[in-house]
Chains A and B, each alone.
Chain A
């Protein structure tokens, strides 16, 4: 090994703790980059493979009742590869051991030859026997939740008829990776299931012999999806078609897309912060090292090493730190990716997970990570190179302190001299103080931007559950009925209050932009289910016109005053032209809203309801459940306390994991920055600090000079960190918001306080770690030797 390289390794050993601190900060960035990108890529490939193997359709459509004879016509549309017609509907289930009714999506299995699209993947048991109408497949999570093993049975209520069904097996399907009961936000495997049943049985249950109400098709390569959808719509229109849509609007696919988009956002947004902080730290530490090694640099140049060789020598040191960070980051990222993949794999019930080794992420992170540390090193190295050898060999001039206006200002404060030392040190080395300030504020900002998700969740939960949906139960009716049905509902067991609502699937069209959505009709004086704005609270429905959530308005490019074409995709299947009255902010929910009087007057109909919200005596809940199981008019029952529990559970767990990870990261940055700054201070001022000890200052008093400066900078960093944090949070929202979820930017005082407290505490720990070294400085020798 060359002598210079040996020196390099010894230098590194000398500053190992500082180098490690920098490497850890860098590793955080690399870890996030590799983990988020790796997870996203693996999930995308897993999904693609899953879709391909089980022939997930490209275009979907529903109708009220279309003749099967239409299928060849559909298959003949230009660009269609395969087409399949099915019967699909929602049903209420009565499951032994479960008091409340469950809901299921029932999908028919084609009689001859089996399904050709959206194939169910049999996990256990066997397919239903085509000649046995009672035999069904159920989805695996639902089966697990109720222990409905093959051979066991349960009851379903199909159009008012109670039918005994026998489970033959459990299946998974690419069509239902993310399954949600209608009207809810989170998957609930206990209350919502999937049932595949023989086509004949499904047809007889729904009176659909020779008919279908659900069409799925795949496209040929290069087909024009838009044209196919239009053609399909034209064919299904006479049969109550509700508007065909591509994968982008298919619920399961859209939610999965949204998750993957969030991961991609995460991979892009946070890591640069870490890289920048690492670059600054390298600059600070290497600058100090080169300062110490000035005479050695002079010597190297004097004996004939070229500038380039000297530069490369120090750049190698930076690169070594970078490589340390990369290796740590890759390791942690790989570990985190596997953890995330396991979580996602479980959550989405992927039958398999492809663990792609993402060479691109590794290469990109290596390039970025090394670039960060080398750029950070560059300034210090260039400064070293500018020195002529003779000058470099003489020790640097002692720092010159002069009095500026700021100094006179401080002088007026009549501070103790130890405090003066702190302030003058900051003023003398403003760049170094600025790096510390920036690093600490960045770590506060990282914490604010992760902790604020709790605030956002609280606002969302409060808006959705506390304010927006105060009903305990929502009944969804099979079809709209007149308002007199509310009296019937009031007669149900235990019901104290009823409120009707009307929802209908619509296509909203503005020029070439269109969105499939639901139009929610709100009755005046509604107290249970109210339309909420995340920022302004309950929204009073205007006398006329639509109220749209901001995301939907943006997607359609409309604002208040614009007009929208509203195509009702279910009875009464009218096309309305309505003005947009207001745009509101909602985190969840992509529905258009309208006052019931405005809606029904536009439809020239008497008011109707197809949803009933209830307040129920808790004691009477079982009786209500039992009654609903026997009430054919009800398609499903939503228990809001259960929805909320699921929501809290699922989000709470994810949030806690995320917050834990970000807290570690934030603390690592703060420690990395403060530890390095304090070590440099200690090294440069050990002489001065030892003198204080000799003069009779206690360890605590001398420690104050060192720790005090770090803490002063940390405290000054707090407001900056808060400000940056707001900005990071906005960036995070931008990065992770999708078509389905818009997170509100509301940061609570609690979040600001917690972020500041964690970081200031971490800074204190780092500063105290360095202060301990002060105790080890030999007083007598520190006085003799001048560096």
Chain B
């Protein structure tokens, strides 16, 4: 399994990434020299305790933040210390985000929330198709306030995949959901990963979720402490909460 992933080319790669936050005189080392590569079509689960640096790493991978030291590559492009405009273009063209709190625009319906992205993407699928994939075709014309948490998260997934991104970055996507809806969301992510071959990173607190991943990376104290393949990948429906 591990060998196979090496033959696949790396979509995203970080080398010796360090991130230090300064508040006044206090320095917090969120990441201390992380090396990591995400390969095409790979489903990676990122585990770690609160404060271990997961979200910081995800933000750097997604072009929301810049490392204090080290380098970030998207395929051959060096994303280290590029302008805000280039980072914006990177996110716009290649990255889909899914967040714990969905981050939907309350004034737009499900379909419109997805259209928000398809309108600026280069080769998007239709909002209807994206919602279909997320299993939400029947609730397209509802506003976020009219949807359950799980449904809102699936709108967010539809919105993230509609642009056919090469990267899907999910920060605790099931964190605010009960087990039943959480599984539905995971199923949607799993399907997207398998059908579209989108390289996916999934941050979670829930250790059992790692079993749906191809590869599991564990962060502690800003460092990668474990990085190994998961030979027995299970279906999301088998995840116990």
> Within 8 Å of chain A (Cβ to Cβ): is B225?
no
Q: Bits for A419-460, please: 1 = Cβ < 8 Å to B, else 0.
A: 011001100100000000000000000000000000000000
Q: Is B40 an interface residue (CB 8 A)?
A: no
Q: For residue A694, which residues in chain B have a CB less than 8 angstroms away from its CB?
A: 62, 64, 91, 97, 103
A399, A428, A698: the one contacting B88 at CB < 8 Å is: A698
- Known pairs A401-B143, A416-B119, A699-B84; A779 contacts B107 (CB<8 A): no
From known contacts A398-B106, A421-B108, A691-B105, infer whether A696 and B88 are also in contact, taking CB-CB under 8 Å: yes
Determine the chain A residues whose CB is within 8 A of the CB of B25 once the complex forms. Answer: none
Q: Which residue of B lies closest to A425 (CB)?
A: B107
A699 to B64, CA, bound (A): 13
Complex Cα spacing A421 to B143, Å: 12
A400 to B116, CA, bound (A): 19
Docked CA distance A518–B37 (Å) = 100
**Residue of A with least CB distance to B114:** A417
What per-residue 1/0 map shows which CB atoms of A757-787 lie under 8 Å from chain B? 0000000000000000000000110011010
- Using C-beta atoms within 8 Å of the partner chain, give the interface range for chain A: 20 to 34
* A420 contact set on B, CB distance < 8 A: 107-108, 112
> Is there contact, CB below 8 Å, between B116 and A692?
yes
Q: Which residues of A are found within 8 Å of B143, using beta-carbon distances?
A: 400-402
Partner of A417, one of B65, B103, B116, B144: B116
Known contacts A695-B117, A697-B92; A786 and B55 CB within 8 A of each other: no
Which residues of B in the span 59-107 have a Cβ within 8 Å of any Cβ on A? 59, 62, 64-65, 84-85, 88-93, 95, 97, 99, 101, 103-107
How many Å lie between the Cα of A728 and that of B145 in the bound state? 44
A687 within 8 A of B: yes
- Cα–Cα distance between A779 and B62 once the two chains are bound (Å): 11
Q: Is A418 an interface residue (CB 8 A)?
A: yes
Q: CB-CB < 8 A to A424: which residues of B?
A: 107-108
In whole angstroms, how far apart are the Cα atoms of A693 and B64 in the complex?
9
- Residues of chain B contacted by A786 (CB below 8 angstroms): 101
At the interface, yes or no: A639 with Cβ under 8 Å from chain B?
A: no
Bound-state CA distance A759–B164 (Å) is 44
Q: Which of A418, A421, A691, A698 contacts B103 (CB 8 A)?
A: A691
In the complex, B6 has a CB within 8 A of chain A: no
In the bound complex, what is the Cα–Cα distance between A417 and B120 (angstroms)? Answer: 10
CA distance A697 to B84 in the complex (A): 11
Determine the residue in chain B with the shortest Cβ distance to A407.
B109
- A701 part of interface (Cβ distance < 8 Å): yes
Chain A residue contacts of B113, Cβ below 8 A: 417
Task: Let me know if B154 is at the binding interface, CB within 8 A.
Answer: no
B115 to chain A, nearest CB (A): 5
- The answer to whether B116 and A695 touch across the interface, beta carbons within 8 angstroms, is yes
Instruction: Return the contact of A780 from the options B64, B84, B112, B117 (Cβ within 8 A).
Output: B64
Contact of B159 with A by CB under 8 A = yes
**Inter-subunit contact B107/A780 (CB<8 Å):** no
The 6 tightest CB contacts between A and B, nearest first, are: A696-B92, A424-B107, A696-B91, A417-B116, A691-B103, A401-B143
17 further A-B pairs in the complex, CB-CB below 8 A; given A418-B116, A421-B108, A696-B90: A398-B144, A399-B145, A400-B143, A401-B106, A401-B143, A416-B119, A420-B108, A424-B108, A425-B107, A691-B104, A694-B62, A699-B84, A701-B120, A779-B59, A780-B64, A780-B65, A784-B55
Chain A contact residues, CB within 8 Å of chain B: 398-402, 416-418, 420-421, 424-425, 428, 687-688, 691-699, 701, 779-780, 783-784, 786
21 cross-chain CB contacts under 8 A: A398-B106, A398-B145, A402-B143, A417-B112, A417-B113, A417-B119, A420-B108, A421-B107, A424-B108, A428-B107, A694-B97, A695-B117, A695-B159, A696-B88, A696-B120, A697-B88, A697-B92, A697-B120, A698-B85, A780-B65, A783-B101
